[in-house]
Structures are given as structure tokens and as C-alpha cells.
Structure 1
Amino acid sequence: MADCSDVRTGYVGDPGEDFIRIQKFVDRGRNQWRLDPVRTARIVGRIFGLEPTDRYTLYQTYYDPGASVHYADVIVQHNSCRYLVELIQPVRQGPTGVWAVESIQAL
């Protein structure tokens, strides 16, 4: 069994990250990968020990009407371990809103 201790789990969102600036950057046609939760999990997940070559699968997306926020759950197969990467749309909801990794949990 492969060691998966290289993956950081728990709440991993960065409260200092400027998502309004990131949203504006995407609105100008840059970093379009931020519009896809799976691609965002793959690219941002590297910061937390996941690999671009891991297997990423969109499990679900859902809208929380109480919080007025869209969420996405991506399952990642990393070595012999599985993780749930939870993402949120922090600025704008829907197809033009950027995604951000909020937490990573071992399954």
C-alpha cells in the first residue's frame, strides 16, 4: 500500500486569496481552467500533495440556496488512497464563476 501522507487534508482554503481578482482575470480570458471544478482540483491540488496524473472524477455539483453558493465534489484516486476534494464558487455562481478548493478529505 502506497504512503499517502504527502497529501494535506482538512480545510485548505486560503482566506487571503483574492478571488475577486481571480474572477476578473478569468473574465478577461485568462486561466479558463478555473471555470471547471475538475481542472481546478487537478491544478490547485498540486499545492496540497495531489498529482496531475492522479485520477479525478466529478462526483456531484449542487447549489445551497441557504448560502446562495454552488459546490462541487471531486473524487481523486492518489496512489492507493482516495480523497474528496470539495470546491466552492466564491464570487459568482454558475458557468462563469471561478472554482476554489475549500477542503480535502480522505475517503
Structure 2
Amino acid sequence: MADCPEVQVGHVEVSGEDYSKIQFMVDRGQNLWRLSPVRTAQIVGSTYFGLSPNDAYTLVERYIDTDSGLPNAVVRVKHGPCTFLVQLYQPEKRGAKGIWVAESITPI
């Protein structure tokens, strides 16, 4: 996106992330921000993909993906003049105790 070239768009993945290890840590009370799709989009997006922690993050929807059966969430991010949708999913546990992982960032 021309106005916000610092933001990585398309499929996103944090290299070397071990979802079972992250879930294990959350189950023991660490990195509890991973239980919120909005906070996960904010922290992971600003740490790895060019978003800012001060951007406006809003949960758009949660749904079950019909192909994978996994819970998904969409978070809208207002980043300067640009708006993005961050797609997240729960790879380990479903529901309130499952971690969220960013899968893609799409400009709108």
C-alpha cells in the first residue's frame, strides 16, 4: 500500500513461533494478551509487521472457519491514513483459553 509501505500485507507468520509452547506458557499465566485477538493483533502487529501499538484496533467479528473448523477473528486497524484487517485464528485450544495467532493483514 503506497501510503503505508511499512506495514507487511498478505500472509504473515512470525518465524519460529511454536504455538504449543505459547499455549503452554499462557496456560501457566504468562503472555495472557494472547487470549485476546485485539491485543494479539496489536502486540504481534506492532512488533513484527509494521503496525503501531498506538493504532486504533477494533474487533470486527469472530467466526468458525468452515474449512478448518478453527475459531477465527478479524481485527480492523486504523494506521495513519490506512486501514487494515488482521485475520487471526486459534491453532491450539478453542474458546476463552485458546491463544490467537495472526494469519494475514489485508489493506482495505
- Identity percentage of aligned residues: 50
Query: What are structure 1's unaligned runs of at least 5 residues?
Result: none
Q: How large is the Cα RMSD of the aligned pairs?
A: 1.4
Deviation at 1:50? Answer: 0.2
Deviation of 1:17 (Å): 1.7
- Describe the SS at the equivalent of 2:78: strand
Q: Structure 1 stretch 42-51 or stretch 62-71: which is displaced more?
A: 62-71
Residue of structure 2 in register with 1:11 after alignment: 11
Size of the aligned set, in residue pairs, is: 106
Task: Name the structure 2 match of 1:45.
Answer: 45
1:66 Cα shift?
3.8
Aligned-partner Cα distance in 2 for 1:6–1:67: 31
Offset of 1:13 from its aligned partner? 2.0
What SS does the corresponding residue of 2:33 show, helix, strand or coil? Answer: helix
Who is 1:76 aligned against?
A: 77
- Code of the aligned partner of 1:59: V
Question: Is the aligned partner of 1:61 residue 2:62?
Answer: yes
- How much has 1:68 moved relative to structure 2? 1.8
Normalising by the residue count of structure 1, what TM-score does the alignment of the two structures yield?
A: 0.93
Runs of at least 4 residues off by over 4 Å: none
Q: Which residue of 2 aligns with 1:25?
A: 25
Structure 2 residue runs of 5 or longer lacking an equivalent are none
